[in-house]
Structure 1
């Protein structure tokens, strides 16, 4: 029966799973019907939520076997089942957190321009994936034989202490959250647009600061991993892991549904995008790329590739300042304008 602290933990986890699930259909709807472009980051985002869902299911099963109650108060078979299912759930949580942050990294790769931005994002994603997979493996391989990890009746020896690796993962997750939240303020500030729009877009892309705080709190609760009273002392860790994963999904999902919000609030008729944007080249000298919309009542997004300027005019964005392209920035009902770049030293 679900009793003790397990009731609170399971309740919080299902609430977090539901709140984050709201972002899944909203994001897919925005990508399919508003942006008309579904990318790899959308599939990775959905996969991360599936891992959160599986995490919640296995912890719920563990709760019915005694998770949240003192370990010495449980029958041996129930205690073994509780610890086993809890570790299975933690495996999905460890991998799910990395997958959610990788989803944001892939999204950022689609909108950054400078080479060092892309390299730093790739380093963050690959390193986080390696640490996450390593921690997930050590959850099961910390003792030999593996069954000794969750069954006290099996004699085994300690292979490696899991707590230091869990602290490393928690710290690295928080660091990646912080960097991914900080990066938009760097490259968005180089765009020539109204100050209020810069703040709005940068803030929507920087909600990861909230996930960073959750990750720090979760890391502090990692002491329960080495406790003899595993089923009760890990409740805080289980809750904050679910909160961090759910908050990460919500923070990652909010910027991607911004076009849907603008379409609902402002309607489908776009305003004129007769504006100029300035981007900086990857060299030490700045290069100014000027592109003027020649079609009224359309929104403009400009990218620079191989010495040419490619502008994508999307008829369904009212803002005139869309800077977040989909996987194929030029929708089927949009117009692509392509012209040579004129470089001016400034």
Structure 2
């Protein structure tokens, strides 16, 4: 227990107003350039500055770069400031998890991991009817055994990176999410789905088994017996069934524009947005770490996370707002 407490106490975010927040241990091979002023500069999937990427999306255009942009980022503004969207946009391959897609996603997730301005991250697809179709089987067919094993290890690492993001994450499933696509969605904290969406871990129908976290995250989400049934059979489920078994948090009727799940995810993000950012991040940390250990150790984790909140200005603001009967104005400090 003493070792666990020392380890947790040592895991702190080292930059900006999030100093003192306990985070998962993640190691990134990429880093963003740091401009004058000290804050890291976020990059889009192809290495462009995030601000340029967002300007392109605000115009409703797709900025061309030296290579294909398969994963991009958009920051929302105005009342939605603090919500960041990760955009899956590999149109020709239905967001299949290929080399470029995975590399760009790793880069974006790495830059977001230390971004204190990102309060909620929504993963959504720009490909109609598809969230993510899973592995790029054509690419995989050209790999030898060693290359395939290395690539799947990279996929598993990506899902761990997503799960380790300190802020809440939401996957909006407006279409198909199969195999690695569902594993990507399950790496997020929350999921919304259209009734018409189809999702499943179908690897056994291809002579494989889920290898990017599916065998571990699905049982933790829907229970062991049901997870085994879904994995053994490779069965797909729709949005309504996914809601009933607890695979998604919310399910809605699809709309004419085909983005009902995204609209629901945005609504959910807006519910999270006004809350104290440090408290929300530490609550996520307490849940994620606590679920993996026995109840005694979990209580110790909660105590450590709670202790980090006490000295924050946001906690003082929350108490003052309550006493003064006004909405709190949190700053993330």
TM-score, normalised via structure 2 length? 0.25
- Between structures 1 and 2, the one with greater strand share: 2
Higher relative contact order (CA 8 A, sep 6+): 1
Name the larger-Rg structure: 1
Structure richer in helix, relative to its length: 1
